[in-house]
Amino acid sequence: MGLLVHGDGVFAGQGVVYETLNLSALNNYTTGGTVHIIVINNHQSSCKIYIQKLLREGEITNEDIRKITDKVDKNLNEEFAKSKDYVPNNRDWLSSSWTGFLPPEQISRARDTGYQDSLS
């Protein structure tokens, strides 16, 4: 299993995080999962900065923020409670059947890439 430590700005879909999330279920590549330790390396979170901007511009009130925060917290807590009884289904993942898709060797001829696969 992989362990990645990175700043909060990286998690949004850049570099090794993006590759690990998108390639982790490919045959012969599986990581067995990845633990991400995200270090908040800003003095303020993006959420707080955005809230301050919206408040300053009069687009939102403190009451609106409280309602949104309560709604999100409620949803996250409900989903977390449901996760305790979750049983994974193979069809939830990329291991499900891909009927109709042909492997690359059946749809394209092999091309010489210059790579030598032997160490002789």
Judge whether 52 lies within some domain.
yes
Assess whether 17 and 51 both reside in one domain. Answer: no
CA 17/CA 20 separation, integer angstroms: 5
The per-residue pLDDT for range 9-49, each reduced to its tens digit, is 656 655 666 666 666 666 666 666 778 787 777 777 778 88
Judge whether 107 lies within some domain.
no
CA 85/CA 71 separation, integer angstroms: 22
Assess whether 47 and 33 both reside in one domain. Answer: no
User: Are the C-beta atoms of residues 49 and 43 closer than 8 Å to each other?
Assistant: no
Whole-model pTM: value is 0.45
State yes or no: pLDDT of 56 exceeds 90.
Answer: yes
Assess whether 68 and 58 both reside in one domain. Answer: yes
Assess whether 12 and 32 both reside in one domain. Answer: yes
CA 69/CA 30 separation, integer angstroms: 36
Assess whether 26 and 55 both reside in one domain. Answer: no
Measure the CA angle with vertex 18, ends 36 and 71; round to 5°: 65
Predicted pLDDT at 55? 97
- For 7-69, give the DSSP string: ETTGGGT-HHHHHHHHHTTSTTT--S-EEEEEE--SSS-HHHHHHHHHHHTTS--HHHHHHHH
What's the one-letter identity of residue 94?
L
Q: Which two tokens stand for residue 26?
A: 């490919």
Q: How many domains does the chain have?
A: 2
The per-residue pLDDT for range 59-107, each reduced to its tens digit, is 999 999 999 999 999 999 999 999 999 887 766 666 556 667 777 777 7
Domain that holds residue 29: 1-41
